Amino acid sequence: MTTTRRIISLLAAGLAATLALSACGGSGDEGGPDAEGRTSIDMWVFAELHGTYYEAMAKQWNEKNPDKEIKLDVTVFPYDEMHNKLQLAVNAGKGLPDVVDIEVNKFSNFVAADGRTPLADLSEAAEPYQDDIVQARMDLYTREGKLLGYPTHVGAQVAFYNVPLLEKAGVDYKTIKTWDDFKAAGAKYNKATGKAFGVASTDTNITQPLIMAQLGGNLFDEDGNPTVNSPEIVEATELQQEMQKAGAISTIPGGSPDIEEAYGPINDGEYAAIVYPAWYTSRFVDYMPDLAGDIAIAPAPVIEGGEVATIGGGGTGTSVIESSPDKDFAMEWLAFAKLSPEANVAVWEELGFDPVNMSVWEDEEVTHNPENKYNKYFQTNLFDVLNEVKGDIGHFESFADPNLPKVDEVFTGSTYNQIFGDGVPAKKALDQAQADLENQLK
Amino acid sequence: MAVLRRLLYSQKAAPYLFIAPFVITLLAFWLVPLARTFMLSTQEVVFGQAAFIGLDNYQRLWEDRLFWKAMFNSARYMVLTIALLIPIPLVLAAAINSKIGSERVKAVFKASMFVPALTSVVVAGVIFRLMFAESGTGLMNQIVGVFGLDPVRWLRIDTGGLIALLALAMWRWTGVNILYFLAGMQAIPEEYYEAATIDGAGKVQQFFHITLPNLKPTIVYVTTISIYGGLAMFLESFMLYRGNASPNDQGLTVIGYLYRRGIEQNDLGFASAVGVVLLVVIMTINLTFLTLSGTFKKESAR
């Protein structure tokens, strides 16, 4: 009997651990400014760089507002841990921060299908800046008329071409306008060099939605039911599968261009064309120093007669927790830290992201600053490309759907691996994804 | 003081007082959470607000392909770890226990086999992930390269991932199981072997007719914890695939699925249903096994 008892207690420990996961108690902060007139704000982020950025913005705020200073306390967690911790804290109603960065694929976990949410409506604090902000990026974090998060960047998808490699293979990137051109160029390049041209991501859902959106597809119908095997989605995926067969795109170690395993091969010239959001500039500068001066930024390929030219990819919404005692103060500071022109200049200069405040895009002094490390690195200027597609940056509605996290998980967990890794026909893999999702969402 | 003394000397009350810490721990950390899990599994929890939905979670679970995939993965892992981690350590333990070889060498061997159990799974998982990397420079790919084979995309194919998981389990648990078996073997009286030698039994016969039958309690124990350990495996896969997502969910285990639905997707009710089903499955297998192996029979009846 002792053995069974031991098993039972082991099991119990496991179960207890699973259930007893609750966040640590709150800090006991009752809100309002302290004796020195500073208001304490707790903030959680999942990227070190973002933390540094917010601290810089807190400093700027304090210089401008000596009468209501902020005492910002940023905690950086790893990506998964932060979102899981936030989710548990939200369920427990305890141990929450005042302000938090939420990644776009996780954002919908914090808004129930019926609109219930622990996040505060930020629309009012955004008003002074509203007109200059790319609306599509605000829509991304808007649910039932409530703006629940401020965007960090546009993340407009662009193409990055390795010019010397392309020239050697006789390919001129300037002639690539549509995906058909991209496919032909890729096939030619692949034939000439035997190397991969573009990337077929198995572990991220970023480039694929671009083509889905260009074709006018959607991952959900009007009632929010998944439609991942609808004609446009199948067509977009088949198009990529054909590109893979033609040699224009190939799988990459690590499953996506944005992961440590992939930076090495790209830096070594194993891949010559990356279609990814504009914030990928920072990855080139930080992780691929050997390619300095080789990379040209161009508009992402389009579908002839397609719905939109490009969409934003990835993103981080910054939210204020509704139950925070310093809610109003936090909102005011956050609007300054994320939407003001000063903040957006910093977003470009510090982080290398394409800022959401369009007034910055036209400020030549900022965008064409020859001292800027991003401008030094690339052959073409990012903002020239962005201004070219500016009026045509679409909003992919599916990105704001409450069930996006589940679709994202099925796609990056199985579907894309089946399609690009195992060569399963796109339609078949998407049919299975649809069946899985229908059951999960029942 | 007087009350306490009376309590401690009372024949009736004292035993309860002494077992109280255990009973309280059991209630607080087992029965209460268990009851809460059953309750949660019939609810839908959104941002801390729970609504009763009956057996809906169980029905969804039954129809969920991914749950069955996770169940299959866990069961397969459990069966294979038992198939590997009982016979191999048993033979190694018999070799260490035998009179052949230098004692010092055997002691070093024993100690070195045990070290992996002391290292953290987190570290081990990271190292194994690098060993089984898909590039040609990974350790395993260099090894297959020696045989003139192409690099294998280990963690992206089902069999490759399974081999990596089993290798990790072997590396980690062989030494522990050797110690269990060794302890069992050293408790077998020397006289049995002497008598058998006099009767003319060889080493192999002695192993099968003396060592194995006398080791039965140890084997039953090791098997029981391996059934639990195999079905409840999570961290190894989590570290190997750097997170809970693996290609085609080839590394998804039942606990991994529980974690995904409960913690990552905010569906605590459904996750609790997964936990309850896993508990029932493990208890059924183990109780059946323990009954069949005669563990529950009275000492005299064995």
Residues A198, A333 within the same domain: no
Query: Residue B162: which domain range?
Result: 59-301
pLDDT score of A351? 86
Contacts of B286 in chain A (CB under 8 A): 4, 7
DSSP state for residue B155 in the 8-state scheme: G
Nearest by CB to residue B33, choosing from A9, A15, A418, is: A15
Q: Do B263 and A413 touch (CB under 8 A)?
A: no
Q: How far is B183 from A26, CA to CA, in rounded Å?
A: 49
CB contact at 8 A, B89 and B178: yes
CB distance A437 to A226 below 8 Å: yes
Whether A21 has a pLDDT exceeding 80, the answer reads no
Q: How far is A268 from chain B (nearest CA, A)?
A: 14
| CB contact (8 A) between residue A16 and residue B30 | yes
Chain B contact for A115 (CB, 8 A cutoff): no
What angle do the packed helices A426-440 and A231-246 form, to 10 degrees? 140
Residues A229 and A324 in one domain: no
**Domain shared by B90 and B230, yes or no:** yes
A22 touches chain B (CB under 8 A): no
The answer to whether residues A193 and A329 belong to one domain is no
Number of structural domains found in chain B: 2
Please report whether residue B45 resides in a domain. Answer: no
Q: How far is B78 from chain A (nearest CA, A)?
A: 15
Amino acid sitting at position B159: T
Domain extent, residue A169, equals 157-311+377-440
- Shared-domain flag, residues A342 and A354: yes
Q: Map tokens 């001292």 to a residue.
A: A371
pLDDT of residue A295: 95
Statement: residue A15 has pLDDT above 80: no
Same structural domain for residues B93 and B210?
A: yes
Domain annotation covers residue A90 = yes
Q: Are residues B143 and B10 in the same domain?
A: no
The pLDDT value recorded for residue A37 is 81
Pair B149, B31 in one domain: no
Over residues A213-234, the mean pLDDT reads 92
Chain B residues with beta carbon closer than 8 angstroms to that of A405: 265
Average pLDDT value for residue range A85-112: 90
Whether the pLDDT of residue A93 is over 50: the answer is: yes
B51 is a domain residue: no
Smallest CA–CA separation between A209 and chain B, in Å? Answer: 20
Contact A160, A276 (CB under 8 A): yes
Q: Name the domain count of chain A.
A: 2
Check whether residue B277 and residue B156 sit in a common domain.
yes
Residues B67, B207, single domain; the answer is: yes
pLDDT at site B34: 93
pLDDT digits 0-9 by tens, A22-38: 333 344 566 778 877 88
Question: How many interchain CB pairs under 8 A, A with B?
Answer: 125
Rg (CA), chain A: 23
With CA atoms as reference, the chain A residue closest to B264 would be A84
Does A209 share its domain with A274?
Answer: yes
Do residue B147 and residue B17 come from a single domain?
Answer: no
**Chain-chain contact of A18 with B275 (C-beta, under 8 angstroms):** yes
Per-residue pLDDT, A2:
47
Categorize the per-residue pLDDT at A59 as very low, low, confident or very high, splitting at 50, 70 and 90.
very high
Same domain, A344 and A328: yes
Question: Do B146 and B289 share a structural domain?
Answer: yes
Give chain A positions within 8 Å (CB) of B219: none
Angle at A395 between CA A391 and CA A400, to 5 degrees: 160
pLDDT beyond 90 at A249: yes
Please list every residue in chain A whose beta carbon sits closer than 8 Å to the beta carbon of residue B246: 413
For residues A313 and A157, give the distance between their C-alpha atoms in angstroms, rounded to a whole number. Answer: 6
Mean pLDDT of A420-429: 92
% of chain A exceeding 70 in pLDDT: 93
User: Is A112 touching B (CB cutoff 8 A)?
Assistant: yes
Q: In the prediction, which pLDDT does A286 show?
A: 87
Residues B65 and B18 in one domain: no
Distance CA A422, CA A404 (A): 24
Q: Which residues of chain B have pLDDT under 70?
A: 298-302
Question: What is the domain-level CATH number for residue A295?
Answer: 3.40.190.10
Averaged confidence pLDDT in chain A = 88
- At A104, the amino acid letter reads V
A296 backbone dihedrals φ, ψ, rounded to 5°: -110, 140
* A202 neighbourhood in chain B, CB within 8 Å: 247
Q: What is the mean pLDDT of residues A345-363?
A: 88
**Is A324 found in the same domain as A290?**
no
Residue A207 lies in a domain: yes
* Domain shared by B23 and B107, yes or no: no
The residue among A323, A440, A441, A442 with the most chain B CBs within 10 A of its CB, best to mutate, is A440
Contact B135 A418 (CB under 8 A): no
Residue B53 placed within a domain: no
HEC string for A69-103 = EEEEEEEECCHHHHHHHHHHHHHHCCCCCCEEEEE
Q: Which of A361, A394, A419 is the last residue of a domain?
A: A361
ipTM over 0.85: no
In a domain? residue A244: yes
**Residue A8 resides in a domain:** no
For residues A190 and A250, state if they share a domain.
yes
Taking only the tens place, the pLDDT of each residue in A253-312 is 888 998 888 998 999 999 999 999 999 998 999 899 999 999 999 999 999 888 888 998
- In this structure, are A105 and A136 located in the same domain? yes
The answer, for A88 touching chain B at a CB cutoff of 8 Å, is yes
For residue A21, being part of any structural domain is answered with no
Tell me, yes or no, whether A17 lies in a domain: no
One domain, residues B161 and B245: yes
Same domain, B230 and B124: yes
Inter-chain touch A91–B265, beta carbons under 8 Å: no
Residue A236: the pLDDT is 95
Closest approach of B7 to chain A, Cα-based (Å): 28
**Residue B17 domain-assigned?**
yes
**Residue A132 within any structural domain of the chain:** yes
Query: Is the residue at B66 inside a domain?
Result: yes
